[in-house]
């Protein structure tokens, strides 16, 4: 593919605005939490004073509906991630934003919160898969495969970007992780977790 020279310069320069931003990570963290809630809220809970909790609809759990809900929640998450990765690269508007002092403690905490939310969501899916044993044709597996490719593969979007690379680039620009390869290492752990989950199907 032909790339105008200006793009090549931008790509190799520190001025490039990472496409995935700290805001993206923040948004994805709350979205991931919402997606987790979506699959863990199994019916309304009524609490009457002095009585044990009563779950509406308990005792008639429907594996198919749970499967649909997980598929849907994963699709919502993947769609957002896909949109972020599909967004064409735009030249930086001003360099002011990139020279802004970065609160490293906050950046690192937010990164860990994002990973934590992701692991929790995946864990909820894992527990349900252990219980219901959906097979390789499951929509859940399809969406997990999509999530895996968005994280790890460049070919899952038209801009040739993997989410891991985007995060590495963005966090490198903050300087908050020094020379450690923590972001790569932890991100790869997430992908390994997704791979292990995919292996549970079929």
Ligand X SMILES: *[C@@H]1O[C@H](CO)[C@@H](O)[C@H](O)[C@H]1NC(C)=O
- Which parts of 22-41 interact with ligand X (CB under 6 A)? 38
3-state SS assignment for residue 90: coil
Q: Which stretch binds ligand X (CB under 6 A): 20-28, 61-69, 105-113, 123-131?
A: 61-69
* Minimal distance, residue 69 CB to ligand X, in Å: 4
Number of neighbouring beta carbons within 10 Å of residue 17:
18
**Is-contact 167 96, C-beta < 8 A?**
no
Q: Answer yes or no whether residue 91 interacts with ligand X by CB under 6 A.
A: no
Q: Retrieve residue 197's tokens.
A: 């989950």
* Minimal distance, residue 131 CB to ligand X, in Å: 12
**Is-contact 132 67, C-beta < 8 A?**
yes
Among 29, 69, 71, 138, the residue binding ligand X under the rule CB under 6 A is 69
Q: Answer yes or no whether residue 157 interacts with ligand X by CB under 6 A.
A: no
Q: Retrieve residue 52's tokens.
A: 């044990």
Nearer Cβ to ligand X, position 68 or 189? 68
Nearer Cβ to ligand X, position 42 or 173? 42
Among 9, 46, 65, 97, the residue binding ligand X under the rule CB under 6 A is 65
Report DSSP state, residue 17: P
Give the DSSP letter string of 150-189. Answer: HHH-GGGSTT---HHHHHHHHHHHHTTTTT--HHHHHHHH
* Minimal distance, residue 59 CB to ligand X, in Å: 12
Round to whole Å and give the CA distance between 15 and 88: 16
Nearer Cβ to ligand X, position 68 or 103? 68
Q: Answer yes or no whether residue 46 interacts with ligand X by CB under 6 A.
A: no
Residues that bind ligand X (CB under 6 A): 38, 42-43, 62, 65-66, 69
């Amino acid at each position: 593919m032909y790339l105008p020279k200006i793009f090549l310069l931008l790509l190799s320069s520190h001025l490039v605005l990472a496409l995935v931003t700290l805001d993206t990570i923040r948004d994805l963290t709350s979205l991931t939490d919402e997606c987790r809630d979506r699959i863990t809220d199994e019916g309304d809970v009524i609490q009457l004073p002095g009585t044990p909790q009563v779950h509406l609809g308990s005792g008639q759990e429907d594996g198919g509906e749970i499967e649909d809900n997980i598929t849907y929640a994963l699709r919502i998450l993947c769609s957002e991630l896909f949109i972020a990765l599909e967004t064409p690269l735009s030249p930086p508007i001003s360099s002011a934003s990139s020279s802004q002092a970065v609160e490293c403690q906050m950046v690192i905490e937010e990164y860990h919160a994002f990973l934590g939310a992701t692991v929790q969501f995946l864990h909820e899916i894992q527990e349900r898969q252990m219980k219901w044993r959906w097979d390789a044709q499951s929509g859940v597996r399809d969406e997990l495969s999509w999530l895996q490719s968005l994280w790890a593969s460049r070919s899952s979007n038209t801009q040739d970007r993997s989410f891991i690379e985007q995060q590495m680039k963005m966090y490198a620009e903050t300087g908050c992780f020094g020379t450690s390869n923590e972001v790569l290492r932890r991100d790869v752990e997430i992908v390994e977790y997704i791979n292990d989950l995919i292996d549970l199907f079929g």
